Amino acid sequence: MKVDGEKLRALRDGKLMTSQELADLAGVSRDVIYRVESGRTGANQTSIKRMARVLGVEPKELLPADG
């Protein structure tokens, strides 16, 4: 599933969180965070939900505006 990588990075940066910290708290690898933020890949629904929970947002907020 496509994720808005720029929005993910902005939310992470806003929490003063490293990609490794987000990965650890969300239960995904740092490489997944890097690939999603750089737009190289999307993420599965479970990972999106976990990242959103850690960042304190709804999962839909991590999705691009165009769906």
d(CA 44, CA 50): 10
In a domain, 20, yes or no: yes
Cβ 1 vs Cβ 48: under 8 Å = yes
In a domain, 63, yes or no: no
In a domain, 38, yes or no: yes
Average pLDDT over residues 8-36: 97
pLDDT in tens, 26-50: 999 999 999 999 999 999 999 999 9
Please give the model's pTM, rounded to 2 decimal places: 0.92
Domain count, the chain: 1
What's the CATH code of the domain at 44? 1.10.260.40
Instruction: Look at residue 54 and tell me whether its pLDDT is greater than 90.
Output: yes
